């Protein structure tokens, strides 16, 4: 990255405006996608846990319908990667107070079972939180007692990992950022061009040049600035023109008396006095010529001024 490009990147109004707007939109898109993705994962996990509770209820009903001796072999057959079942005769140590979600899952499971065959269900949901867009692990454990035999049925469901955001969402966010950056560049160019033209015109006026009137268009603030600059430029131009005319008039007016004084000096008898007078008159004549040259130079420059104001981008 060249030094000139770094200076343009961090100092120009256009680059700073585009950078700020694009970064703001990019960050807002990331925030929106994160919120949407978090909400989607939460809703998807809730649906999966509810469906898992219904499946566990059907498996528990099956356990209650088969002989006790077959239950131990049935849990091995029905267990898989996501669902694990077991039968125990002793309750696990420690009490677990269910939260709102766990209580909802337990009640949902109990509503799918005959009340006279099962005791109250206990649900436990364990989550291992991970950063945004990373896979998190959620496990649901259900514990319920069979009223007939007193056996304790245990079910463990591991929620499959939630897929990452779809490429369509990421692509939409990228397109939105690019379009916003392009719009910001257009707006920044619309703002910076009049300012660049104003800076160029001010520099020309400071150098004593005459420039055409700035266009009074665009936003109202720029219109007022252009009108104020045009008024100032016209006043400066009139002042410079008056000064040039004054210099030219003074120069012309001084020529006649200087010529007369030079003729008179030639008739002075004293040679020393005559030479001093002529030397002083030569200095005044040189000063007069410089005044006239300055006035003529300004007039010639105005006659050859550029026909239009170049815009500096």
**With helix as H, strand as E and coil as C, how does 232-298 read?**
HHHHHHHHHHHHHHHHHHHHHHHHHHHHHHHHHHHCCCCHHHHHHHHHHHHHHHHHHHHHHHHHHHH
Q: How many CB atoms lie within 10 A of CB 23?
A: 12
Find the range with the poorest average confidence among 57-61, 102-106, 138-142, 278-282: 278-282
Select 192-303's CATH number: 3.30.310.10, 3.40.50.720, 1.10.287.130, 3.30.2320.20: 1.10.287.130
Compute the average pLDDT of residues 11-21: 74
Q: Give the rounded percent of residues in the chain with a pLDDT score beyond 70.
A: 78
Q: Which residues contact 275 (CB under 8 A, 6 or more apart)?
A: none
Average pLDDT over residues 124-132: 71
pLDDT on residue 304 = 44
Instruction: Provide the CA 269 distance to its chain's centre, in angstroms.
Output: 89
Domain boundaries, the chain: 3-165, 192-303
Which of 30-39, 134-143, 145-154, 293-302 has maximum average pLDDT?
Answer: 145-154
DSSP class of residue 225?
Answer: H
Q: What's the whole-number mean pLDDT along residues 230-251?
A: 75
Mean pLDDT of the chain: 77
Q: Are 278 and 267 in contact (CB under 8 A)?
A: no
- C-alpha closest to that of 211 among 191, 190, 236: 236
pLDDT in tens, 82-96: 999 998 877 665 667
Question: Which pLDDT band, with edges at 50, 70 and 90, does 290 fall under?
Answer: confident
Q: Residue 310's pLDDT is what?
A: 37
Per-residue pLDDT band for 53 (boundaries 50, 70, 90) equals very high
Range with top average pLDDT, 14-28, 55-69, 161-175: 55-69
Cβ within 8 Å of residue 126, ≥6 positions away = 138, 139, 140, 141
CA 162/CA 159 separation, integer angstroms: 8
**Predicted confidence (pLDDT) per residue in 129-143, tens digit:** 655 545 567 899 999
């Amino acid at each position: 990255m060249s030094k000139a490009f770094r200076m343009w990147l961090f100092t120009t109004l256009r680059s700073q405006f585009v950078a700020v707007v694009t970064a703001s939109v990019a960050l807002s898109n990331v925030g929106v996608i994160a919120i949407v993705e978090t909400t989607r994962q939460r809703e998807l996990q809730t649906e999966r846990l509810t469906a898992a509770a219904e499946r566990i209820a059907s498996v528990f009903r099956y356990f209650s319908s088969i002989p006790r001796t077959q239950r131990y072999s049935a849990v091995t057959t029905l267990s898989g990667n996501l669902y694990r079942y077991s039968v125990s005769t002793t309750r696990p140590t420690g009490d677990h107070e269910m939260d709102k979600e766990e209580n909802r899952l337990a009640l949902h499971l109990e509503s799918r079972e005959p009340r006279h065959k099962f005791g109250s269900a206990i649900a436990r949901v364990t989550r291992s939180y991970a950063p945004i867009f990373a896979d998190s692990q959620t496990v649901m454990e259900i514990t319920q007692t069979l009223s007939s035999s007193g056996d304790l049925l245990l079910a463990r469901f591991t929620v499959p990992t939630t897929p990452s955001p779809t490429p369509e969402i990421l692509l939409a966010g990228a397109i939105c950022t690019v379009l916003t950056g392009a719009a910001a560049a257009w707006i920044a160019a619309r703002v910076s061009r009049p300012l660049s033209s104003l800076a160029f015109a001010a520099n020309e006026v400071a150098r004593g040049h005459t420039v055409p009137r700035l266009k009074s268009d665009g936003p109202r603030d720029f219109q007022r600035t252009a009108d104020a600059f045009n008024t100032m430029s016209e006043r400066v131009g009139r002042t410079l023109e008056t000064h040039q005319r004054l210099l030219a008039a003074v120069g012309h007016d001084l020529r006649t008396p200087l010529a007369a004084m030079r003729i008179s000096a030639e008739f002075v008898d004293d040679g020393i006095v005559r030479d001093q007078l002529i030397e002083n008159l030569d200095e005044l004549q040189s000063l007069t010529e410089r005044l006239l040259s300055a006035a003529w130079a300004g007039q010639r420059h105005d006659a050859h001024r550029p026909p239009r104001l170049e815009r500096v981008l």
